Structure 1
């Protein structure tokens, strides 16, 4: 059956599935609105912090955190709040994570998924990076790069927290706190903006109090425009409502729905020949416009119930379901030298043609009890919880590949494009054949417990652990029965421990140790299921809170080790190979605060030394990975800093700010000496109130139009960074 027909049939199936999601979501929302509820003055949960500036957390209690002040937690945690996102007019999660130096960009599959490393470790290069949503493991799948619409705050939870998180990377976990319906209030905002390359965007956020105890928050966005890349236009939209119901003064039910879509051509970026980053202009598209858009869709539901038994004990129960689907064709540079004409004549680029259908379904259920009690003179604050996680990934991949140069192929046979003078559509689009048709399934359940004990007014210790039970199944439909089926089971207990000492009122010291356990997705080219990743982490640091809580900071030093690390199998796209052990160690400094003179400051610096610790020979490419080789896309030095000044013009409020990002040089290809150069990016932002509740805002990114490179997979697949861009818009509130 032709692949085109298969995609049409599967697209129709996906369309039917999306309508089922909508049919489920709308009656559920209506049914929730009919539930009886007592009036409640608000849904804010107040957790007292040190100093005069207390922090009020709106919405549900912080999962995995318990009732702790930030300085009591033996772990480095930083937050990228809504104000920072709005100041810089950040629209994607990838750009938001740039604000923290501990997080760096990785290969994003041509800009079609989120991929990042925390403290040097990124996970599987063939999969998008996972993250939490409101404490739930709900970020897996292929829904395109996450838009920040609907995000209230991004938590970067660094360090050895896997004893609770379970299946995260040892370097840290990203938790997205979404904008929750705020019960009993009606307010909203809307923005309209225009930017470089004819980009247009509109978004809206309306919190509507329907009754005394029921509130709906409706969030949506639409974006369309060109990009700096030739022949690459994009369209994105999303609808992300939230319904909050007060089931009495101590109980809250929250339902969140997500429905998003991204349409953009698959774009592998530029080629770099002989380390010349000016081989082609950064705007040159080396794919094929005739391939059309790659489309990524996501539909999800999340339901959470929180109950406060009394001042000491609370319960959080919830479940989530997420479907994602990514489909499309692409034409990409061939990466193997023995098939690449470009290495012979310097201008004829041999290309592959591929199609993808990545269909994933993710179900999560979890429950957590948090509370405190005393045994004699000791105070205990405990977290006890469990979760179930089922991830199902249907991978259908086809490919055309140019023949070996030894066969003297014609330009048409090698699917060549001239990088100096590209003629798109010169040859018929090559037919592809199936290389991957596989169903991966992961089922896991885990239980965790944590107890933080106050030994004295100054000294606290934390002990805990997590038990995980994993079942991994792979069905390779290209193999004969029964060899096509494979399954394995694993289980493990992962301990954690920490200590916090209040040296003085503004300064506390901490240390932490933890182990982690995470299943690797899929199997290698021979259908062998990978062993899970295991990790060990140690961290020490100091936390500062000064100026009555207006200025906070964390200084930390860490070392992480990881076994059973995967890397992409370059000779078999869509598959991975095990490369053994890796280690990352480094130091970080994060400072955030509000200074006298109405000035906001933010500083984030990270030194990261991440390297392979095993010796691996790739038989297809004849390159050697040696202990000490740097991990791909991880810079040693990374810095992001920002200053913003609030002032008035007449009686109108205004703000002006500037930021600087520095990213050091880093490896651009595993097992070779190809390096991406360092870059410095300067940004400006500002806003002014035109009339009451209406403001004009603007941003300029990459002010000095620096040439930079976001990430790389190989010298043939390098993602150039965006040139100078400007945005201007209007935002209104009610």
Structure 2
């Protein structure tokens, strides 16, 4: 089955690139000689120099233009690189531990649009420097900061940002600075799970006289996963080049090249909960009399056994040109080319409950290879492969114009976005040979040894290419009144897209579908004084009609795998609150109330059913996933945050959120799954270093969540987790001199079995040596 080498729309893509590049001669023509001074290209440039400790001061993620956080009329959490390093956020899933109302859905994989839950809803997409690059595993070392937008960014980023989105800002060259930072880390977790990690970050002047600077960041990681038969192996490279052409023009090119080997799933660590330490936390299945719980299987138990996992590769190149025509008129053009691929295999449990021996076939019992035990505890297993790739070209341009007087100032931003993408996906569930269809939890190795999928038993359930291109334009109008005390902002965006799907199983192309969606927002901020402001926003995000399969996790050949449903997602946000500064503007605090309502999105539920596949007709299929279209899902609550420097030595980050959710179902409503009623965290750092920078630093944090509705495969669709959970991280570092330091971090100090949609690692100890020059 061949993946087509040529997209019929590639010619159009090249035409658009040509139009974008045509701006360059106009910008560069007649420019003066470059300057070696540090140049700030407002309103578009954000530098890591503005991140003071745990307190970032500016962002352009919400409005596409630089704003002080106190001026933003919506909740945005900015997590700078220093905080990511202090909390030990190696991979993307570890970066959300101290972010309020953001829960990681898949802690072992961390991929896909459903990986992060923001205010109870799945986020639609992830961005890199404001460019939609989709969701993929990320090594956090390559980023200067992570920005979490709560609620839709409807009038700026367009479709796919309905419940909020995450923006990752890549490391770029600093002007006028030379440094090299290196580190080597050794780690050791529970059950002898060990690892090693190395990083380097080198910033240098290529030709300072001509304003050319470079930066290369790289990381290498090889550590055992917290359950058996799984590793994380990461190699990542982030080269970048910056040319300060002159005081008006700046050009940056940034690359991201990454290869990650990791588990495809978390077998027995989510929806099917097998290890006793986690299982005991879940009502219904955690009682000591439960036959699986009574086995007391260890936290590192992997019911899937030895398996290949997945191999993810990412190749991305981003170019950004920023130009000042005048102090009041500025322009930015971005061009991004992104490619990724995934190839993986998984084995997992289908249920949380043992299969009665009377339901196990004679073929299985009589096969010598199974070593069937009449006293064994058997559960069914599932298996599959997945292969996918995507190719994305994105062009994005913004023109920012300021005009008016000191007491009545206006800012108009107009822009466009063009996206051309091809996505390939091939799913190949296997018809599991009878001898491997059950695992005896008393003797699981009997099912693992020699396990294979028999030739001819693998069936391709989906093999498709999705072609899609989209053009959008947007306008944002700001008015700064009363000597910049009253800030009013409105935005409108219109996106028009066209796409079709090529089905390799039927050798047919679907009819082209066209869609046009409009999104808008209106917001205001009133600055009572320079240290306190109140704000409010209403926003509507609309997305094109989408179609998806109703059923998954069914045996290959089941006719229900062909059933499809369609939904037209829409999200409405209402939010208001206040923001301010404390301790001579070293600390920022925010408080907000929010209400999000979504319709037309896809929800899903686990249902018990029987197979309709010819080979397994009538056999039980536990916990098949069935999708439905939501109609009025609601999430509301409050959020509080405080972050910054209490003193020059003391950094503090505090976050708290509540979340009340409701989802209509037949006969009433129910809470949305995996949405804690409350969550909170505190992380702090204190430096005891002397004037020369030598000495100790200590840090630590606690993260907590309240009750929520859990999904448990093979049981009731929703089970209440009525107890709160918490975990603690502690660290200490010692700076020997300006070049050398040692750091010790203990993650989850007290070995808490912290779970939301998946289990999380138990205690992990990390020792890091850092050398800078």
TM range (shorter): 0.7 to 0.9
Q: Which whole-Å CA distance do the structure 1 matches of 2:246 and 2:418 have between them?
A: 28
The corresponding residue for 2:17 is none
Once the two structures are TM-superposed, the CA of residue 154 in structure 1 deviates from its matched residue by 1.1
Q: How do residues 555-704 of structure 1 correspond to structure 2 at under 5 angstroms? A: 555-568=591-604, 577-596=628-647, 598-615=649-666, 627-648=668-689, 652-669=694-711, 672-676=717-721, 678-704=724-750
Match of 1:453 among 474, 479, 493: 479
- Cα 1:510–1:342 change in 2 (3 A) is farther
CA contact (8 A) 1:220 1:239 kept: yes
- Which of 514, 531, 542 is equivalent to 1:517? 542
1:443 aligns with 2:497: no
The SS at the match of 1:86 is helix
CA distance in 1, matches of 2:442, 2:690: 51
- Please tell me whether the aligned partners of residues 73 and 535 of structure 2 are also in contact (alpha carbons under 8 angstroms): yes
Q: Measured at CA, do residues 678 and 412 of structure 1 come closer, stay the same or move farther in structure 2, by a change above 3 Å?
A: farther
Give CA deviations for 1:324-359 in whole Å, capped at 9, x if unaligned.
111122112225989897998882121122111011
CA distance in 1, matches of 2:125, 2:285: 32
The partner residue of 1:285 within 297, 302, 319 is: 302
Q: Is the CA contact 2:180–2:202 (under 8 Å) kept in the aligned structure 1? A: yes
Q: Within 2, Cα distance between the matches of 1:534 and 1:589?
A: 27
Given the two structures, how large is their TM-score scaled by the length of structure 2?
Answer: 0.80
Structure 1: state its 5+ residue gaps.
1-5, 14-34, 124-128, 403-410, 616-625, 712-718
Q: Shift of residue 428 of structure 1? A: 3.7
Cα 1:257/1:287, change in 2 over 3 Å:
same
1:149 to 136, 141, 161: 141
Conserved? CA contact 2:59–2:66, under 8 Å: no
Judge conservation of contact 1:643–1:659 (CA < 8 Å) in 2.
yes
1:419 to 431, 437, 441: 441
- State the alpha-carbon separation in 1 of the partners of residues 490 and 262 from structure 2: 47
Task: Give the distance between the partners of 2:98 and 2:57, measured in 1 at CA.
Answer: 23
Distance 1:504 1:427 in 2: 71
Stretch moving more, 560-569 or 574-583:
574-583
Q: Distance in 2 between matches of 1:444 and 1:472?
A: 9
Q: Does 1:726 align with 2:771?
A: no
Q: CA deviation at 1:661?
A: 0.3
Q: Greater CA deviation, 431-440 or 359-368?
A: 431-440
**Matched residue of 1:371: which SS?**
strand
Give the Å deviation of 1:528: 4.9
Give 3-state SS (helix, strand or coil) of 1:95's partner: helix
Aligned-pair distance for 1:447?
1.0
How many residues of Structure 1 are paired with residues of Structure 2 in the alignment?
667
Give 2:12's aligned residue. none
Q: Which residue of 2 aligns with 1:378?
A: 408
* Residues 571 and 596, structure 2, Cα contact 8 Å, conserved in 1: yes
Match of 2:169 in 1: 177
Show the counterpart of 1:408: none
Q: How far apart in 1 are the matches of 2:60 and 2:177? A: 19
| Structure 1 residues 726 and 710: alpha-carbon distance in aligned structure 2, compared to 1, 3 A threshold | farther
CA distance, structure 1, for counterparts of residue 204 and residue 691 of structure 2 = 33
Partner of 1:240: helix, strand, or coil?
strand
Pair 1:84-2:83 in alignment = yes
Residue 286 of structure 2 is aligned to residue 276 of structure 1: yes
CA distance in structure 2 between the aligned counterparts of 1:155 and 1:581, rounded to whole angstroms: 28
List per-residue Cα deviations over 1:16-71 (Å, max 9, x = no partner).
xxxxxxxxxxxxxxxxxxx99724322445789xxxx9779999976833243222
Q: Is the 8 A contact 2:194 2:224 kept in 1?
A: yes
Residue 229 of structure 1 corresponds to which residue in structure 2?
A: 227
CA distance in 1, matches of 2:81, 2:717: 40
Q: What is the correspondence of 1:104-123 to structure 2 with a 5 Å cutoff?
A: 104-107=103-106, 110=109, 115-123=115-123
Deviation at 1:111, TM superposition (A): 5.0
Per-residue deviation, residues 504-531 of structure 1 (Å, max 9, x unmatched): 3321100001110234665335475734
CA contact (8 A) 2:109 2:262 kept: no
Partner of 1:691, secondary structure, is coil
- Write the distance in 2 (CA, Å) between the matches of 1:696 and 1:109: 28
Distance change (3 Å), C-alpha of 1:296 and 1:570: farther
CA distance in 1, matches of 2:702, 2:232: 27
Q: Residue 186 of structure 2 corresponds to which residue in structure 1? A: 194
Given the superposition, is the C-alpha separation of residues 173 and 428 from structure 1 closer, same or farther in structure 2, using an over 3 Å criterion? closer
Instruction: Name the CA distance, whole Å, in 1 between partners of 2:583 and 2:59.
Output: 29
- With the length of structure 1 as denominator, give the TM-score of the two structures: 0.84
| Counterpart pick for 2:386 among 325, 335, 356 | 356
- Stretches of structure 2 that go unaligned for 5 or more consecutive residues are 7-28, 275-283, 288-292, 361-374, 550-560, 608-622
C-alpha distance in structure 2 between counterparts of 1:96 and 1:328, whole Å: 24
Q: Which residue of 2 aligns with 1:18?
A: none
Over 3 Å counting, the alpha-carbon distance change for 1:200 and 1:434 in structure 2 is same
SS of residue in 2 equivalent to 1:294: strand
C-alpha separation between the residues in 1 aligned to 2:358 and 2:384?
20
The answer to whether 1:330 aligns with 2:346 is yes
Q: Return the alpha-carbon distance in structure 2 between the equivalents of residues 568 and 184 of structure 1.
A: 53
Aligned residues of 1:693 and 1:733 also touching (Cα < 8 A): yes
Instruction: Tell me if 1:534 matches 2:570.
Output: yes
Report if the CA contact (8 A) 1:119-1:584 is conserved: yes
CA contact (8 A) 2:673 2:718 kept: no
Q: Deviation of residue 297 (structure 1)?
A: 0.9
**1:543 maps to what in 2?**
579
Change (3 A) 1:519 1:305: same
User: CA offset at residue 120 of structure 1?
Assistant: 1.5
Give the superposition deviation at 1:606. 0.9
Alpha-carbon offset, residue 384 of structure 1: 1.2
The residue matched to 2:184 in structure 1 has which SS?
strand
**CA apart distance, 1:553:** 0.7
In structure 2, the residue matched to 1:241 is: 239
Give the Cα separation in 2 of the matches to 1:505 and 1:185: 32
2:422 is the alignment partner of 1:392 = yes
Residue equivalent to 1:28:
none
Of residues 550, 554, 573 in structure 1, which corresponds to 2:590? 554
Give, in angstroms, the shift of residue 581 of structure 1: 3.4
Quote the Cα distance in structure 1 between the aligned partners of 2:498 and 2:545.
11
Kindly provide the CA deviation profile for residues 305-327 of structure 1, in whole angstroms up to 9, marking residues without a partner as x.
Answer: 11122222211101111111111
Q: Deviations over 1:401-452 (max 9, x none)?
A: 56xxxxxxxx935621222331153454124211111222332221111111
> Aligned to 1:530, what secondary structure does the other structure show?
strand
Q: 1:597 to 1:302 in 2, by over 3 A?
A: closer
Q: CA deviation at 1:639?
A: 0.9
Give distance in 1, aligned partners of 2:493 and 2:563. 30
Q: Once structures 1 and 2 are overlaid, which stretch shifts more, 273-282 or 581-590? A: 273-282
Secondary structure at the residue paired with 1:288?
Answer: coil
Q: Is the 8 A contact 2:273 2:352 kept in 1?
A: no
